[in-house]
Amino acid sequence: MAKADMLKEIVAKKKERIILAKQQLSQEDLIAKLAACPATRPFKETISKPRQISLIAEIKKASPSRGVIRENFNLPEIALSYQEAGVQALSVLTEEDFFQGNPAFINEAKAIFSGPVLRKDFILDSYQVYESRFLGADAILLIADLLVKEKLVEFMRIADALSLDYLVEVHDEKELKKVLGLKVPLIGINNRNLHTLEVDFKTTEKLFTLIPRDKIVVVESGIKSSQDILFLKILGVSGVLVGTAFMESTDIKNKVNEVMGW
């Protein structure tokens, strides 16, 4: 069987969901609701502390590469474990079809976790940027592979106006070049190829050296051990986004301490 392009499948499904969301609540009405939203929590400054690696710990039930990762998925319990472990920020999967996420997860997590929360989803439309603010996100993930430069600029401009931080994710030199041409303070290096779902740590080694020192760099995917963290710390990375290693663990708090060396 030929390998499916997972990203294409996810994007196709996401486009359908955006159409439905707009039918239920127009962009105009959505924007009107934002005035009542509480202030965002600072994401960028929380994860960019000098001489230390910050952890963005992920809440996800499933993934396309693994299927269901955590059978016993109790969101309040997970958020509390992360809070008690001293995690700096959370990443919450809101994508329903492939990750079994839910937009409501953001506020559920924020009711327990005191730090900032990144909305992890596939953002293709300006509607979703406004929606992220409405859902309680403090930051959003923007995937360079999915967005032409003009779209990136547009989404960043809207996010700035809404006091939303953004992590712009790259996977190769071409995407990095596109992002470095823009004023992007937070760059994510994803070791996972979103088309094949394969993970290669060499992606970080290759791309990190090409990023100017004034950028805050977060490494995503494939981080499993304290050795990985040590390697990234020596490299000079500001933050890591870790999900699967914690979601698989029976004792999340203990696993966080073990991986991070806290």
Q: H or E element: which one contains 178?
A: helix 173-180
Instruction: Label residue 50 by pLDDT band (50, 70, 90).
Output: confident
- Whether the Cβ atoms of residue 170 and residue 190 lie closer than 8 Å to each other: yes
Residues 151/142, Cβ–Cβ less than 8 Å: no
Domain 6-260 class in CATH:
alpha beta
- 1 pLDDT exceeds 70? no
The mean pLDDT of 224-252, rounded to a whole number, is 96
Neighbours of 217 (CB within 10 A): 22
By CB atoms closer than 10 A (0-12, 13-18, 19+), residue 8 is exposed
What residues have CB less than 8 Å from 181, skipping those under 6 apart?
149
Max CA-CA distance within the chain?
50
Question: In whole angstroms, what is the distance from residue 43 CA to residue 47 CA?
Answer: 6
| Mean confidence (pLDDT) of the chain | 96
Whether the predicted pLDDT of 108 surpasses 80? yes
- Helix, strand or coil, per DSSP, at residue 192: strand
Our CA dihedral for 43, 93, 196, 232, rounded to 10 degrees, sits at: 30
Domain ranges in the chain are 6-260
Q: 3-state DSSP call for residue 142? A: strand
What token pair was written down for 39?
A: 């202030």
Query: pLDDT per residue over 178-194, tens digit each?
Result: 999 998 999 999 999 99
Contact at 8 Å (CB) between 181 and 212? Answer: no
Mark out the alpha helices in 53-172 (DSSP H runs): 75-85, 96-99, 105-110, 126-135, 149-161
Q: Residue 240: is its pLDDT beyond 50? A: yes
Tokens at 112, concatenated = 């327990």
Report pTM: 0.96
Radius of gyration of the chain (CA): 17
Tens of pLDDT, residue by residue over 138-156, are: 999 999 999 999 999 999 9
